[in-house]
A and B are shown apart, each in its own frame.
Chain A
């Protein structure tokens, strides 16, 4: 009884903070952490994990409704989700992301239950060279993310890599491009950047139209729930997203952001109508949303079976376990079965609660879109400002957000896309880190990426993907330029 209630409390909190831009699961869990010290360990972890996967559900809501990613992992959901909302299909978009998340979450928990110890051991075989090859492969897929000019996509990726390199040089400890600013020495925060690029940029662009006439909703509402055709289109992306998100989530250094981007790129690649992506394709919502939810289940695998936290949220959960006197590791299932199985069964229940919680809310959210824009946009700005400040209690995060808001507006005006920028910003620090670690390990030899089997397979796949993507572009180039 008490545990179900705490689980409900957790997923409810998670949904709410997922909906609020900026305020993410790690900030919330660190606020709740002291309160859980007074609870026994199992209910405490049940509640905190509820916040985590609840936030993954809620994160898509603002992406779809107003183009503001609630979490970094829901950046890709903006691309097609928001377009669906503008076409009056916010309901189906919200519905498919809730139900896709439910399917993915449930399959993810099943996988966690059945294969956790084995998978965790396998994931340890990923060292720096494997990560490098994996990210290389991801980069060569990113070309599919762009729907317009490839040269513009490449330019924007390079810019993203540059912004990603601001801060402390991780290997030597030197400062790069910080101009004496302490705030910049931590690098440019991802969340204020995405809130600026997508949310503020969108608001600025909308303001060009005459106030009073602007409406997010361009047409009439078309149904609240996904149709049978929507389901037919989405089932494949949901299942593929689940597998992709689950696999990447196991890696001790993997991330929800990478899996949602990878799922989007994959769906666009195998789609018969890739031109519909970015214009409201339901597959572009179903895949990534499922991927980030499956990942949020498999993230628990390295923590519970090896004691390795793979992201800041898992590190907080580890802290909470330690203060209760439990040191997670291979012996956890044997020593504390009530904790392991308690958390897993709570995830089944929590996923059902989330669907029941989210489906009735869809009607409410959709109605929000009929609020006049002159009322809505000051509210959006306000929530963004509060959200950015809540990240670190630092005014600079607001400045970064506003800067990238203007930048995002200019990018829209000149037809550059924001998604490849975010992708590069997320992955380039990991890319550099794993490259330099690998070269330290091999004492400077690039052969290390081909002599290790897993790395070699990933690297060759990456090179093939890159060539396939680049060759037609080289052929078509003169034609494009003449356009």
Chain B
């Protein structure tokens, strides 16, 4: 597609040159030729050379958070491939519902896209009134990053492994922090406690940082949250992750699966379009992201790591499969919990 645009650019330059020449020879003739030669060029741009202008990406979360980190990581590199700017339009509000709704109603011409996480796209329709959208309203474009979900305790906690913690939780009611009620990590911990047969008290916090402070200060026993810099000297100790396999950076941290609880779930930042965007446009966008990553793999992996995100390019088909599976999982547990909605 980039090539097509370059060709078109060239043909337009030739047109201009031709036009200058024609002016000297005769205006009437020039008009006829210019119109004729310009026509195929406009037809090409209408059909194949997407994008011809800047592409807007609606972010349902505010600037500076995890989703924004993923968007900013890709933005300059994708722009280079795409040849047009990406404009991130922040529409935070109502836990992601505001931005998602506005993207749902956007014209499906490929010039309005939407960034999403599990918490903006899947959970609101399950837990909140007013979230009048579902996965079917959007066409998946590309998964950007994946963020592991972690179970952490205080650095000097007596619990050295997740098994230690679960064993203790069966005799004593543990108190755990999450970034908020009905967040993916809250539902995950509920699922684990059901599976392992213990009861724990959920004390929701306002965000991961507040949860970290509560566990670091010894006020609560465990933090369950998406990875965002909890581990490290003087901070928290990770006991387990809900990933499919162990994390490269923390080879000693076991997965829930290997200690006998087959819960495999991650958070992810992904890109979507309103339903009805032509397939060719989706392909252009996906290829641009894949290419941007292939060209800058080392750098993007390194930066991603400091933001505790792993770049993970998935095709639209793979992406929707992952999100549907998560939808089914969260719905089942929420039904068991007897959630608000």
Contacts and interface: CB of A to CB of B under 8 A. Distances in A.
B69 A319 contact: yes
A182 B93 contact: yes
Interface residues of A, number: 55
A124 B217 contact: yes
Nearest to B183: A173
A327 B340 contact: no
A310 B210 CA distance: 8
A170 B64 contact: no
Interface in A17-46: 29-31, 33-34, 37
Contacts of B130: 180, 182, 185
| Listed residue (A30, A173, A433) with the most chain B CB atoms within 10 angstroms of its CB | A173
A393 interface: yes
A371 interface: no
Contacts of A125: 217
B214 interface: yes
Given A307-B235, A323-B69, A330-B235, A183 B182 contact: no
B313 interface: no
Contacts of A171: 181, 204
Given A174-B340, A440-B175, A252 B213 contact: yes
A173 B206 contact: no
B178 to A, nearest CB: 12
B91 A331 contact: no
B59 to A, nearest CB: 11
B309 to A, nearest CB: 9
Interface string A387-427: 00000111000000000000000000000000000000000
Contacts of B217: 124-127
Interface string B235-261: 100000000000000000000000000
Given A127-B220, A392-B93, 18 more contacts: A30-B63, A30-B64, A126-B217, A170-B204, A173-B127, A173-B181, A174-B340, A186-B93, A302-B213, A306-B235, A307-B232, A315-B64, A318-B64, A322-B308, A323-B69, A326-B306, A327-B229, A393-B90
Contacts of B220: 127, 441
Contact of B203 (A173, A185, A327, A437): A437
B65 A323 contact: no
Contacts of B97: 182, 185
Interface string B14-52: 000000000000000000000000000000000000000
Given A252-B213, A325-B306, A394-B93, A319 B64 contact: yes
A329 interface: yes
B72 A175 contact: no
B235 A329 contact: yes
A315 B209 contact: yes
A contacts with B: majority SS: loop
Nearest to A325: B306
A327 B232 contact: yes
A316 B64 contact: yes
Interface in B180-208: 180-182, 201-207
B168 interface: no
A125 to B, nearest CB: 6
Contacts of A209: none
Contacts of B175: 440-441
B201 A443 contact: yes
B158 interface: no
Interface in B71-91: 72-73, 75-76, 90-91
A111 interface: no
Contacts of B308: 322
A309 interface: yes
Contact of B303 (A128, A323, A329, A437): A323
28 contacts: A30-B63, A33-B64, A37-B72, A128-B219, A170-B206, A173-B340, A174-B340, A175-B129, A183-B94, A185-B128, A252-B210, A253-B210, A306-B216, A306-B234, A306-B235, A307-B229, A312-B64, A315-B65, A316-B64, A318-B229, A322-B69, A322-B307, A325-B303, A327-B306, A330-B235, A331-B232, A392-B93, A393-B91
